[in-house]
Structures are given as C-alpha cells and as structure tokens.
Amino acid sequence: MHEIKPTGARKIVNEFSNMLNKKVSYQGKESTWSYVIFLKVRELAHYLTSKKEKLDFVNPEYEIERINSYDIRQKILNISYVDWKKLGFSKGTLHYMKQNAKSDKPFTLNSHVLERVNKWEALF
C-alpha cells in the first residue's frame, strides 16, 4: 500500500471540498451537494425507521466533468510559445506540457493551467 504525501492529501481534500460546494438543481431550487447529501442521509434514516416508504437515490444525478485527454493533448501541442507567454506562463511550463502531451502516459494539469489552455483556444 502506498502512503499519500501531505501535498497529495491536501489536493484530494480540496477537490472533494470543491465538489461539495458545487450547486445542483434539487427539488426546484439550487442547493450545494453537501446539503443534498444531508437531505439524502436524512431520507435514508426515515426509510430505515419506516417513516418513509420510498427511497430515491437517483435524483439529483451527479455528472463528472472529464477531460478528453486526446483533445487536451492536441491543444497543448498546437500552442505556440509566444502565445503561451502572452497568457502569463513560462516557456518551461509549456515545454514540459508538450513533452507530456507527446507521451502515451496519462498526465494531469492544475486547474489554472487547464483554464489557460482552454482560454488560449478562444483567443487565438
């Protein structure tokens, strides 16, 4: 079993916290996922204590935002160093991103980097 480094644990906790704070439409209004989970746990408790006859864990439906790695790889490979510099990043950052994009190995991007990759496409 592998041990998670403190920085990795912080990233996981931050991402989970961000997910819990995202809004979702539930029962006709916008609520955070943390509040919807609270409501669903209460609904389960009522079902288990026979206060409720029906249990619905389908709604609201959770959608995972996935990044199509092929599309991201192509965007990275198409970005010029000059354009990247205009977005406020260093040449070295793009160099390593291009190396990762050329390889078959999976890689990740920080959210602020991904945001700028997507912004580049809209600007240029």
Check: CB of residue 114 under 8 Å from CB of residue 100: no
**How much is the pTM?**
0.46
64: left (phi over 0), alpha (psi -120 to 50) or beta: beta
Q: pLDDT digit string (tens) for 12-49?
A: 888 888 888 888 888 888 889 899 999 989 999 999 99
Check pLDDT > 60 for residue 4. Answer: yes
Buried b or exposed e, range 72-92, using 16+ CB within 10 angstroms: bbebbeebeeeebeebebeee
Per-residue tokens: 1: 């079993």
Helices then strands, each counted (H, E), the chain: 6, 2
Q: Cα separations (Å) of 40 from 11, 35, 75?
A: 26, 9, 40
For the chain, the domains span 1-63, 69-123
